[in-house]
Structure 1
Amino acid sequence: MSWQGVPLNFFELKWLLIGQRMDEGFMMYKEIYDYCGPLSVFMYWLLDALFGKSLVAHHIISSLLIFLNAVIFNLLLIRNRVYKESSYLPALFFVLMVLAFPDFMALSPQLMAMTFILLALNNVFKRIANEVTDDLFLIAGLYLGIAVLFYPPAIVFFVSLLLSFFIFSTPILRRVALYFNGFFIPLVMAYCFYYWNDSHYYAWDSLIMRGFFGSRVVYFNIFENMKFLAIPIFWGLYAMLNTFAVGRLTSFQLKIAQTMLLIFLSSLVVIWLDVEFSSVQLLFFGLPMSFFLTHYILSIKKRRARAIIPNLIFISLIITPYIVYNQLQNDVWAVTPKQRSFSESSFMILSDRVDALREGDIRGPFFDPALSKQRLKELSDPIRAAAMIKAIDKALPTVIIDDWSKVPLLFRTFPDLGSKYELEAEGYYRKISN
């Protein structure tokens, strides 16, 4: 977010590079080692094909998505008559909450998945309002399946919305089956695509084994930065407690509030489930917090309180982004300038940090460090070794930087590759000029 003076962060850089590699014709998961969701990868590829390696294009699309999500959220509340009076406060609060969270401009898988979670949530609200048609369940499942393809940990919302569907109504086996069928349709289509391209094992290993059960990557420490996020957290929790403690809810409104509470709890579970913790995961909290803040303001009866409290909330939320971005401790996730200058046209890096890739032409399949190390351990398998050398040979780098001391293993496994490079310094290999 250069316009705010916030540096490019690791995960934005990674998404840009994934899009670039996909546009060069490399197969995700088989030739690009990372656990980003398939539809998110498709979006990054599409943006790179249209605009090149452009962070501005990512930020423009993410801004449009934030606006779209705010509109969808507000419309589903108005059309389902969740509040006694129609209001645009939910959209306003949603935008203010999103602005308060670091990296809100990142075109993240979480932001893209949220659009389809909202569309599924609309069907849940319709069901709570006693609209009973079978397609509500089928389409809700379909939306959530698409959301999972953008961001796999969004499967938590599949469970929470399933509970919302059937806690408040008698479960019917046919509708449960439709909900699951809708959910699995996009997942099966994605599996068939990777199976057809002989990449299904790599997709499973990357998305499931690494994405859910691998080592944790922390880009953002919420405890160290809690004081800077105290304002939105305080108002959101206070409004939530007030909603359930004070009451004044109709039966319909209580069911909606309980559903939004499930969304809040699901957002917590997502943080626990995902192996990658970054500030963009906080976006999911924007939905329930906006809902409860709106209900709290609309329920204020005293005239003086109605004049003071909403303005106090607005002002405090408006100043929060300035506090966050001026004081936030972002040393972990910010991309620092390259410590070594590369005049070479391309390079491959085996390292736990990807910030050295910022200005170079990346080659090789190694993106996520944990997944890359696992692939290097599998070199004894001839099929997987063949896939790795094919990915490397498709675009040989001029320089290889080896922070893991794994290049000697690569060269022993692939002697032809080793014959093309010479050791220039420790962990620094240069392609031999012909």
Structure 2
Amino acid sequence: MTYPELKSILVGEKLNNGSKMYTEVVDNTAPLAAWVHTLLDMAFDRSITGRHVVALVLIFLQSVFLGIIFITKKVFGENTFIPSLIFSILFFFSFDNIALTDELLGSGFLILALDHLFREIEFRMPRDETPFNLGLFLSIATLFYLPYITFLFGVLIILFLFARTNGRKILLMIFGFTLPHLFVISISYVNDTLPKVWEYYYLSNLSFDKEFVVSIKELLILGGLPAFYLIISIVMLNRLARFSKYQAQLLQSIFLWIGFCFIYFLFCKEVRPQTLIVLIPPITFLLTHFLLLIRRRRLAEMNHGYL
């Protein structure tokens, strides 16, 4: 049992016993994450195996959905589920990523937000619900893990640079983001717990104080191999890849997304392997481009030799 698993079990038990979050259970766990931990306590009690099974199902669903996004958005030159395979492999760079953590629960909604971001860049779906849903999914992700709020600013910059997004759509996205938080704040105000929610959820999760559950050296060792292939992918893509304008915009958006991942690390209260899972979708994107580029070059060389 890892520390985040123990913490989630205790939070779920206390809430099931009638304690109130942020007033009687003083912790910085996000509201939706606390609600999920309560349901898991009802379903599995203290069983770690049951939680691991749910985590594996979530990882599988996220990998499949990411592959579907890349296919439907024509991210690559061919339709392939190689991204799903790479995503699944990268997720197991550390054993404790199987834990059903707040980061894992929220990362699925980040992938949904990425889907709507690609829709907005694609120019083929000029609908008002796309930016609204984009903000909504980002907001739900933050209600599982508040430091994900960093990606709201990243999305705003990406939309400004690469999408034909006017002021009305930006306001729709911001409204979609603020709506769930306004709902949480309203409920807290009615229950007279707003000061506690503000102190233990919002302020506590957005501070720069850190606890290194895993040292920087250990994180570098764990992420060394994926980082090595990431650097190779970037070098090869810059030298050999030929992209359409749309694919080039997606590639530049992914680079910005990676940049905001490092800003996100500054707001994480606890530094552990689960902190790095936000890097898995963009690394999957770049590695897939790299592998497809190698395959196309080999096929071209084989055909040239045959001729």
Task: Give the TM bin, normalised by the shorter chain.
Answer: over 0.9
1:41 aligns with 2:34: yes
Pairing 1:310-321 to 2, within 5 Å after superposition: none
Q: How does 1:35-434 map to 2 (within 5 A)?
A: 35-130=28-123, 131-213=125-207, 215-300=209-294, 301-303=296-298
1:84 aligned partner, one-letter code? G
**Cα pair 2:128 2:169 within 8 Å, conserved:** yes
Matched, 1:16 2:35: no
Which stretch of the first structure deviates more once superposed, 225-234 or 93-102? 225-234
The answer to whether the Cα contact below 8 Å between 2:241 and 2:293 also exists between their aligned partners in 1 is: no
Distance 2:297 2:79 in 1: 20
User: RMSD of aligned C-alpha atoms?
Assistant: 1.8
Does the 8 A contact of 2:13 with 2:38 survive in 1? yes
- Per the TM alignment, residue 43 of structure 1 is displaced from its structure 2 partner at its CA by 0.3
Cα displacement (A) at 1:174: 0.9
- Larger deviation: 207-216 or 37-46? 207-216
Whether the 8 Å contact between 1:101 and 1:283 is mirrored in structure 2 is no
Cα distance in 2 between the residues matched to 1:107 and 1:163: 31
Once structures 1 and 2 are overlaid, which stretch shifts more, 77-86 or 45-54? 45-54
Partners of 1:21 and 1:241 lie apart in 2 by: 51
Q: Can you list the C-alpha shifts for 1:161-182, whole angstroms capped at 9, x where unaligned?
A: 2222221134411111100010
Match for 1:203: what amino acid?
A: V
Q: In the alignment, does 2:35 pair up with 1:26?
A: no
Change (3 A) 1:198 1:114: same
Amino acid at match of 1:120: A
Distance 2:112 2:32 in 1: 17
Letter in 1 for 2:221: K
Q: CA deviation at 1:306?
A: 9.7
Counterparts of 1:203 and 1:306 in 2: how far apart (Å)? 61
Q: 1:17 to 1:79 in 2, by over 3 A?
A: same
User: Greater Rg, structure 1 or structure 2?
Assistant: 1
Identity percentage over the alignment?
A: 27
Indicate the SS of the match to 1:289: helix
* Superposed displacement of residue 229, structure 1: 3.0
Post-superposition offset of 1:92: 0.4
**Cα distance in 1 between the residues matched to 2:271 and 2:173:** 29
User: How far, CA to CA, are the matches of 1:40 and 1:276 in structure 2?
Assistant: 16
TM-score by length of structure 2 reads 0.93
Query: What TM-score results when the alignment is normalised by the length of structure 1?
Result: 0.66
